Structures are given as structure tokens and as C-alpha cells.
Amino acid sequence: MSEKICPICNKALKLRESGYPMGSAFLKADRVHVDIYECPVCHKIELFAAETDMVTCPKCGSLHSPKEACAVCALNAALDEANK
């Protein structure tokens, strides 16, 4: 992993959150995972595309972060429940 540098004060950014899911679980195509970095000096927040390896759901084949459950399957399960 390459070091992220604050563009304002040239200090190394600290990783706050990795593989953070952005966007709605209902809009699969718009779902993106980011690494959130913060400058320890000026507290500027920088977002980078997540470097964590995405996993493929064995049930529906969609990509998601290994840190979270598959949103598509969770949604399908909720819909199945509603249709009972």
C-alpha cells in the first residue's frame, strides 16, 4: 500500500476507515467502497477507492467487501420474507 500524503501540509494521511461502503444498498451499480484517510494536522478527509480485495458472493455473484454481508442477498431475503 502506497502512502497517502495531504496535499495541503505534505503530511502522511492516517487511515480512518477501510473498505467503507458508500451509496445505497438498493442501488447495486452505484455502490462503491472507499478507504477514508484523514490528515492528522489539518484534518482534511481524503477518499480513495478501497484497496481491500472484494469478494464475490457465491449465491448471486455480486461483488462486495469481505467486511460486510452481501447486500443483494440481504435484500432478496427481505423480499422473500415480505412475499410469504
Q: Look at strands 45-49 and 32-38 and give their pairing.
A: antiparallel
Does 8 contact Zn ion by CB under 5 A?
yes
Q: Show the site string, 30-59: x = touches Zn ion by CB under 5 A, - = not.
A: ---------x-xx-x------------x-x
- What's the closest the beta carbon of residue 48 comes to Zn ion, in angstroms? 15
Q: Show the site string, 62-81: x = touches Zn ion by CB under 5 A, - = not.
A: --------x-xx--------
> Which ranges in the chain belong to alpha helices (H)?
71-82
DSSP annotation string for 19-41? EEEES-TT-GGG-EEEEEEE-TT
